[in-house]
Amino acid sequence: MSIMDLFRPKWKNSNLVVRMNAVKELNDKTILSEIANNDEHPDVRKVAHTKLEELKRENDKGAEKIVSTVLNQPSQGKSGNIGWRIGHGDGQKVGTMSVIKETQQGIVQVIMGTNKSFDEKNIGVVNLVVTPNHDITDFITDELIGNGVDPLKVGFHSLNRMHEQLLAALSDQLLKNALLHEIQNDHFKDVLTSADISSSLSKLEYKDLSTLLLEVLRLRVMKGDLRYVVADAFLLGGDWDVGEMNAPDTIEKLRGSDQKEKIKVILWLVNMDRMTENQVKESVAILDSYGDRRFHSSVYDKTMVQITSIESAKNNKNLQDAANIKGGWSIDLLLEYLPEATPVNK
């Protein structure tokens, strides 16, 4: 054993057996890829390759389950109890399901895998990805784009990047003109028609930047330009009115020329274990569980997927205590204890 082994992770240990066992326990695809390509020993590289394949199969399986459920459970299907009931009675128009992954990266892989499967079936999808906070919004957005999703198909609201996002969006003159037509605030119009928009935006307060960015996202969704909208639950909550998504041009753009299936609208409730009870209620309201104000049920199938990771849930003391008592993590454990865990979240 080298003295340096005391100061580095076990997957970098000088002992071959220690290193191989450590690699078997890894779930970080970036680290595993590094090991698979660069470790000096072929046996370690093989273990890393095998683990990457296992993770891919696991994520593909999660995506296939979601696709199967969405395709076979129409909007008027059963509500299900997934930690919080999103309504009662026969009028509900939202299908529901729950998924738990080992890591945060696994969540993104399931979201992307689900969309890939729908692409292969030539079925249009709109993804509303709701998170507990800006850090997770940034993570999900960066992972989507970093894994090959077209940045022009991803709209997001991030606390730290609002100025950057608005500048990029307003470089589209058609979008800028539409925004000028929609907004009533004269101060906002002055900003949008300024000779130096960047400077004018920098003088706006946070809430004004946020209002403008949410309006930009709304217009881009209504045009059918976005495949993913990522934001935290209070920003992308029930008060965010995307408008009626039933314009013929929007439907045609989302659906594709030869699609017969309804367009799928999936509300991804990411890391609900970190959300407050109010955040959950705000998120659920986006889909209009009983109404058709945003996504009319004659055109859209609406599904809510609660998805989290063990990596995230371990940070919730109530859930960790429950897992210790029950002897491990499972989706059933999360569903049983989430109603008790969320009221204490801040």
Residue 288, classified by CB atoms within 10 Å of its CB into exposed (0-12), middle (13-18) or buried (19+), is middle
Residue ranges in the chain whose pLDDT is less than 70: 1-2, 5, 58-94, 237-248, 256-260, 288-292, 331, 339-346
Nearest to 231 by CA among 267, 203, 204: 267
**pLDDT tens-digit profile of 19-50?**
888 888 887 777 888 898 889 888 989 988 88
CB burial of 121-160 (b: ≥16 within 10 Å; e: otherwise) equals eebbbbbbbbbbbbebbbbbbebbeeeebeeeebbbbbee
Nearest to 308 by CA among 316, 297, 300: 316
Question: What phi and psi values does residue 4 have, to the nearest 5 degrees?
Answer: -70, -20
Report helix, strand or coil for 176: helix
Domain ranges of the chain: 1-72, 75-149+227-346
The model carries a pTM of 0.72
**pLDDT tens-digit profile of 176-220?**
888 888 888 888 889 888 889 899 998 888 888 888 888 888 888
Report helix, strand or coil for 97: strand
Is residue 156 a contact partner of residue 231, using CB atoms and an 8 Å limit? yes
Q: Give the distance from CA 62 to its chain's centroid.
A: 15
**pLDDT tens-digit profile of 65-76?**
665 555 554 333
CATH number of 75-149+227-346: 3.40.50
